[in-house]
């Protein structure tokens, strides 16, 4: 993987205004709205035991990080449609290096979104949480974002340009709802809660909450997220080798 290409790719993502609206502006706007409604008065969420504003911040930071990671799908699909990935094969950058650069760039932008959301919450709402709690919540969310970067690569490898956006929206909205990133799962039907425990966004949210608590058994969320990453990684390698064999 080329460090130069990685730097250019990360910078390009941070200069993509439409992408930044959904990755930074939208989750921050929702944070300010929901934080003003539910985060005042130091109310405690009876499910997590955390202040509502902390729960909301973790949700919106997770949403922003997930969006940043999944957004790489559009970049890969667009570059495939114009043959840019084939052009890159003429350089020293390998095909797998190209895909790893996309994953790494997604994680860089995701971390920026997570940190910015937490910073806005701390500045505006002054949540009753220690620096260590916020740091561990951010690290938990960042780790939880990894499978979504792989999902983005997989979408980019399979989807055609005209179908990429609807496919992306279905996956994104489904994961956001089942992960409890928009509304608490406690207000949803029990069957949705049961399904949610099989999707990575649920464990992304849980890992962020455990980090904020500075306690909890993180083994389950870590194992589930690693399992998702390994399965997705295997599919990506299979698809890459199949495409390479055709060319």
Contact 83, 98 (CB under 8 A): no
Record the pTM: 0.87
Separation between Cα atoms, residue 226 and residue 147, nearest integer Å: 8
Asked if the model's pLDDT at residue 227 lies above 90, the reply is yes
Tokens of 115: 């940190």
Mean pLDDT is lowest, of 116-120, 179-183, 206-210, 241-245, for 241-245
Residue 188: pLDDT over 90 = no
Question: What is each CA distance from 78 to 7, 73, 85, 119, 211, in whole angstroms?
Answer: 19, 9, 10, 33, 36
Three-class secondary structure of residue 189 per DSSP: coil
Say what the pLDDT of residue 13 is: 67
pLDDT over 80 (residue 120): yes
pLDDT digits (tens, 9 = 90+) for 17-54: 677 777 888 999 999 998 888 766 678 888 888 999 99
Which H/E stretch holds residue 224?
Answer: helix 219-246
Distance between CA 87 and CA 79 in Å, rounded? 10
Give the percent of the chain with pLDDT over 70.
84
From the CB of residue 112, how many other CB atoms can be counted at a distance below 10 Å? 19
Helix 52-70 crosses helix 26-38 at what angle (to 10 degrees)? 170
Q: What are 127-175's pLDDT values in tens digits?
A: 989 999 999 999 999 999 999 999 998 888 887 777 777 888 888 889 9
């Amino acid at each position: 993987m080329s460090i130069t290409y990685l730097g250019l790719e990360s910078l390009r993502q941070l200069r993509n205004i439409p992408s930044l609206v959904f990755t930074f502006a939208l989750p921050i706007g929702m944070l300010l709205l929901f934080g003003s409604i539910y985060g005042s008065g130091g109310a405690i969420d009876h499910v997590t035991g955390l202040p509502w504003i902390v729960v909301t911040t973790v949700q919106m930071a997770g949403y922003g990080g997930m969006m940043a990671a999944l957004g790489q799908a559009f970049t890969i699909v667009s570059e495939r449609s114009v043959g840019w990935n084939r052009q890159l094969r003429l350089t020293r950058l390998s095909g797998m290096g190209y895909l790893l650069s996309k994953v790494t760039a997604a994680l860089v932008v995701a971390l920026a979104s997570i940190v910015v959301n937490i910073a806005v919450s701390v500045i505006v709402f002054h949540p009753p949480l220690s620096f260590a709690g916020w740091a561990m919540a951010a690290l938990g969310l960042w780790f939880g974002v990894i499978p979504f970067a792989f999902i983005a690569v997989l979408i980019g490898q399979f989807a055609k340009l005209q179908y990429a956006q609807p496919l992306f929206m279905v996956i994104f909205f489904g994961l956001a709802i089942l992960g409890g990133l928009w509304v608490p799962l406690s207000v949803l039907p029990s069957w949705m809660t049961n399904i949610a425990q099989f999707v990575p966004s649920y464990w992304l949210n849980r890992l962020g909450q455990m980090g904020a608590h500075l306690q909890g058994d993180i083994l389950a969320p870590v194992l589930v997220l690693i399992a998702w990453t390994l399965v997705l990684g295997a599919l990506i390698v299979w698809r890459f080798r199949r495409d390479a064999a055709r060319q």
